[in-house]
Structure 1
Amino acid sequence: MTHTAPLGVAVIGAGTMGADHVRRLDRAVAGARVAAVADLDADRARALADPVEGCAAHTDPEAAMAAPGVDAVLIASPGPAHEAALLAALDRGLPVLCEKPLTPDPEGALRVLAAERKLGGRRIQVGFMRRYDSEYAQLAALLASGELGRPLLLHCRHRNVSVHPYFTDASLINDSVAHEFDAARWLLGHEITAVQVFRPTPSAQAPEGLSDPQLVVFETDGGALVDVEIFANSGFGYQVQAEAVCERGTARIGDAHGLLVNAAGRWGGPVDQHYLTRFADAYDREVRAWVDATRRGEVTGADAWDGYAVAAACAAGTEAQRTGRRVAVDMVEKPRLYRD
């Protein structure tokens, strides 16, 4: 169904990501409005909803989805709450943009896939925003062109200034390397088949109990190898970089060659401190593309299968962390709905 009026969106989750999306939908994306906000914290939901004209605050996600004027759902709640919200949205036939993860585990993702398949068409887009970053898009187009030949290796770096004290080793995979799992699948056009994790001596800046940094290596069904340096407490900035090594050349992104200053015997430039600034444009493009596609009655971007594939890779990655072994990624056969 095509929407001619602004798309009414229920935003589920009023934390950092949900608040950023409410701001984006209210001020930066044409053709959409925030019709409802839901959060378990009633005060936080009201604080986010009250400044937005015509926006209702709820503590129950299903009540927000059922609010007047809601045409679509944006899920930005913590990962463990995603499955219930997704199933509720699908039960209403509502299109969804779900921040990653689709679900924290592949079993939950399969339940979501089954519910979506019952509708006979796709309703879910998963928020892997790197697909909308201009540098990642350029790299994807270059690799798809075949100009550099077959991709052989993909070197990735994912560094944070610091992470929350509750971060665990598994969080490094599920919350951070998950992005590299999707980016590698998208850039290379391969599925991930096995994962192995290596741990150097932890940094002195790592919180007690967190093995940081780590090196995650995975294999693909196209014969490429991908390595990811995940350094959650680098202390200096937020950096995401990737270099593809191909048969006839290499291509690298993420060096942030913006303003460079030469002064006082030194040269250099700023380093982003947060993912919301590093990928601000990508988030804008992602939500704008979702709104436009939804108003046309279409679903584009990463789909529920992509969310499931990343969940399966994360399960293998955390098992590889725990055991120190190479762990194969266990996946079901891709359903017809997601092959087109």
Structure 2
Amino acid sequence: MDLRIGVIGTGAIGQEHIQRLNHKTQGAHVVAISDINKEKATLLAKEIGAKFYETGEALIADPEVDAVVVTSWDPTHEQYVLEAIKHNKYVFCEKPLATDSEGCRRIVDAEVANGKKLVQVGFMRRYDRGYMELKEVIENRQLGEPLLLHCAHRNPTVDKNYETPMAIINTAIHEIDALRWLLQEDYVSVQVILPKQTSYTHEKLHDPQMVILETKSGIHIDLEVFVNCQFGYDIKCVVVCETGEISLEDPSYTRVKAKGKDYTTVSPDWQSRFMDAYDEEFQLWIHSIQADAITGPTAWDGYVASITMVACGVARESGERVAISLDSCPTLYQA
């Protein structure tokens, strides 16, 4: 029987995930939704044949809901995830797991006390084919030990609501998780450099920014975050190893030769670049629930990403290299 999924938060990403669960994956369908915009959510519920709930808590408590997807406003993530743990229900939470490290830690502690991994965090990069191939080469040591990573996260443009801290909180957070997962190492320090700005930015956003991370074994990572690059959504990751390098390529299925040029296109946005990764992420989440064993990014991964993100903010403001310190990883999260 299909898993019965409840979705809390029916904005853009919430609606995408509803369509994904109902039409692109197998083994689950959405039976319940809740959103602060009751009028629109009620109409959506009627459209997809789901039940509307006045609150996320009511949705989670319903025994007719097997698992929960949280895509609501960021400050509500913690309360809904904790509520799902309280009811011993699997919960997929889009990043961030909570708006601060203390909130993430409260979720970790609640899950550890419950004695079972129930939480998965929406770090979809881990399900991208390119990243998975990078990981295979690194883990097999086909090119020797990894030494350096050169990365970039570029977006064509952002609006004036996007401010300097968001370059880490909303953008670099994906690399913070994905690169730690690739290398299977925690970070020990970070430095953030603010170079010459593009003329396409605004007064509340320093763009671009450079993030320099170091891992426990001494691997150095430089990450360019440039959110007004103008030409497309461009994700780069070059892993320099002892006997060669492997790099992430922008997926492209056609090549154009015309007017004296030979080129492939650049993805216009994150939805098109990582669409397949999102689909794979949810299909494997469904399989893991059916197997009663979560295999994706955990609450601990969400906590570590938050700790690292905070250190990045301190490093940006101070201009200094900042140490990253973590508590011991609870046994529950040790593979």
Specify which of 73, 94, 103 is matched with residue 99 of structure 1.
94
Q: Which runs of 5+ in 1 are unaligned?
A: none
State how 1:242-261 maps to structure 2 within 5 Å.
242-261=237-256
SS in 2 for 1:51: helix
Contact in 2 for aligned 1:131/1:137 (Cα 8 Å) = yes
One-letter amino acid of the counterpart of residue 142, structure 1: V
Letter in 1 for 2:68: V
SS of equivalent to 1:227: strand
The match for 1:34 among 30, 43, 47 is: 30
Question: Aligned partners of 1:223 and 1:78: how far apart in 2?
Answer: 37
Q: SS at the partner of 1:154?
A: strand
Paired AA for residue 66 in structure 1:
A
SS of structure 2 residue aligned to 1:27: helix
Amino acid at match of 2:36: L
Contact 2:145 2:242 in 1 (8 A): yes
> Partners in 2 of 1:221 and 1:44 — Cα distance?
48
- Identity of matched residues, %: 39
Match of 2:46 in 1: 50
Give the letter for the 1:283 counterpart.
Y
* 8 Å CA contact retained: 2:250, 2:266: no
In 1, the alpha carbon distance for the partners of 2:257 and 2:119 equals 47
Does residue 323 of the first structure (1) align with residue 318 of the second (2)? yes
Q: 1:91 offset after TM fit, Å?
A: 0.7
Structure 1, residues 228-286: CA drift from partner, whole Å, max 9, x if none?
11011112211111000011110001333431100111221222111111100000000
Write out aligned runs for 1:1-340 (5 A): 5-53=1-49, 55-67=50-62, 69-340=64-335
Q: For residues 91 and 318 of structure 2, what CA distance do their matches in structure 1 show?
A: 36
C-alpha offsets along residues 162-212 of structure 1, whole Å, 9 cap, x if unaligned?
Answer: 224222211110111111111111111110111111111211111221000
Aligned mates of 1:68, 1:337 — CA distance in 2:
26
Conserved? CA contact 1:199–1:211, under 8 Å: yes
Aligned letter for 1:8? R
Residue by residue, what CA displacement relative to the aligned partner does 1:282-323 show, whole Å, maximum 9, x if unpaired?
000000000111012111111111111100000000111111
- Partners of 1:253 and 1:279 in 2: CA distance: 13
| Alpha-carbon shift at residue 67 of structure 1 (Å) | 3.5
Tell me how far 1:68 sits from its aligned partner.
Answer: 5.2
The secondary structure found in structure 2 opposite 1:334 is coil
Task: Supply the AA of the counterpart residue of 1:11.
Answer: V
Contact 1:10 1:35 in 2 (8 A): yes
Alpha carbons 1:244, 1:252 under 8 Å: kept: yes
Q: Per-residue CA shift, 1:64-100, capped at 9, x if unaligned?
A: 2234520001111232211111111111100011111
Size of the aligned set, in residue pairs, is 335
- Contact 2:250-2:267 within 8 A present in 1 as well: no
The one-letter code sitting in structure 2 at the alignment partner of 1:296 is: A
Q: Partner amino acid for 2:26?
A: A
Distance 2:133 2:44 in 1: 35
- Please give the per-residue CA displacement for 1:31-78, whole angstroms capped at 9, x wherever unaligned: 10101111111123224322212x112341112223452000111123
TM-score, normalised via structure 1 length: 0.96
RMSD value, Cα: 1.2
Q: 1:45 to 1:67 in 2, by over 3 A?
A: farther
In structure 2, what residue type is equivalent to 1:249?
G
Question: Matched residues in 1 for 2:244 and 2:201: separation?
Answer: 36
The one-letter amino acid of 1:22's match is: I
One-letter amino acid matched to 2:323: A
SS at match of 1:37: strand
> Quick one: distance in 2 between partners of 1:10 and 1:90?
14
Which AA in structure 1 matches 2:122?
A: G
